[in-house]
Amino acid sequence: MKNEREFPNRPPGGHWSEDRMLERLYGLEAPPELNESHLDECPECVPRWQALTERRAALLAQPAPPVSEQRLRHQRQTVFARIEQRRPHGVWALAPAAATALLIVFGVALQTPAPVPETPTAAVISQTDRELFTEIAALMEDDMPRATGAFRGLFDTDNSRTEVQ
């Protein structure tokens, strides 16, 4: 508790790490969990922060080391040699292109809906169908049930059926 009262600006995670101090030194913004006033108040972080800033100031005060023409020429030759190197030919050289093509085909297949089969419709009505439709129409027109026809025949007084020769 005493430590928190002495250093109220101490970050929740503890002291600033070397990496965070270097990021701050080079102008990167400090994360929200680190309080920048901690670098001015903490007896452990202040000497480390001052050492980093003094070392950077000393390096910037020194003149840049001379670069020889020979060293630049060697670097340029090395870069051009690496650019001109032949890339390995073979099956593995085509692997990235094949993988990309496979992903594109797979993506198109997933995005394209499956074809819906059309239900076939009868365009031509056959003779048996016509006969069926005619019988159904005749049954629908007749308002008397078929079973009553046999009973009516028993009481029919028509003479054409009773004549025997």
* pLDDT for the residue 137: 83
Cα distances (angstroms) measured from residue 81 to each of 74, 78, 84, 142, 152: 10, 5, 5, 101, 113
Query: Whole-structure pTM over 0.85, yes or no?
Result: no
Cα distances (angstroms) measured from residue 66 to each of 55, 56, 59, 78: 21, 19, 15, 20
Residue 58 lies in a domain: yes
Residue 40 lies in a domain: yes
Residue 151 lies in a domain: no
Residue 12 lies in a domain: no
Residue 13 lies in a domain: no
Name which of 134, 135, 152, 156 is nearest 144 in CA terms.
Answer: 152
Residue 163 lies in a domain: no
59: containing domain: 19-63
What's the first-to-final CA gap in the chain, in angstroms?
135
Count how many domains the chain has: 1
What lies within 8 Å, CB to CB, of 21 at 6+ separation is 39, 45, 48, 49, 52
* pLDDT for the residue 74: 94
* pLDDT for the residue 126: 65
- Averaged over successive runs of 10 residues, the pLDDT of the chain (165 residues) comes to 44 73 82 76 87 90 87 92 76 80 87 78 67 82 74 69 49
Residue 41 lies in a domain: yes
Residue 10 lies in a domain: no
Return the structure tokens found at 153: 């025949």
